[in-house]
Amino acid sequence: MDTQNDNRESTPTVGIKDKYLEQLHSDFQLVSEIVLTQISLASSLLHQKPDELVLIELKRNEKLINSLDITIKEKVINAIMLFTPRASDLRRLMAYHDMTISMERVGDLIENITHLISDIDFTLDGFENYKKLLDKMFVKSGKMIKNAVFSFAGGSNEMAYETIYMDDKVDKLDKKIERKLAEGFGNEMHTTQSLVNIMNINSISYYLERIGDKAVDIAESAVYLIEGKDIRHTKLPNP
pLDDT tens string 191-212: 999 999 999 999 999 999 999 9
| Domains identified in the chain and CATH numbers | 2-227 (1.20.58.220)
Question: Looking at residue 239, what is its pLDDT?
Answer: 64
How buried is residue 49: exposed, middle or buried, by Cβ count under 10 Å (0-12/13-18/19+)?
A: exposed
The rounded percent of the chain whose pLDDT value lies above 70 is 92
| Whether the Cβ atoms of residue 97 and residue 72 lie closer than 8 Å to each other | yes
Which pLDDT value is given to residue 44? 93
DSSP 142-198: HHHHHHHHHHHHTT-HHHHHHHHHHHHHHHHHHHHHHHHHHHHHTTS---HHHHHHH
Q: Which one-letter amino acid corresponds to residue 184?
A: G
Asked if the model's pLDDT at residue 1 lies above 50, the reply is: no
Between helix 129-153 and helix 192-227 the angle, nearest 10°, is 20
Q: pLDDT confidence of 238, banded at 50, 70, 90?
A: low
78-108: per-residue pLDDT in tens? 999 888 888 888 888 888 999 999 999 999 9
The stretch 9-29 carries a mean pLDDT of 77
Whether 30 and 85 have beta carbons less than 8 Å apart is answered as no
The pLDDT value recorded for residue 9 is 47
Kindly report, residue by residue over 167-194, the tens digit of the pLDDT: 999 999 999 999 999 998 877 788 999 9
Give the model's pLDDT for residue 10.
47
Looking at residue 12, its pLDDT comes to 53
What pLDDT score does 8 carry? Answer: 45
Q: Are 141 and 228 in contact (CB under 8 A)?
A: no
Return the closest-CA partner of residue 215 out of 151, 177, 163, 179. Answer: 163
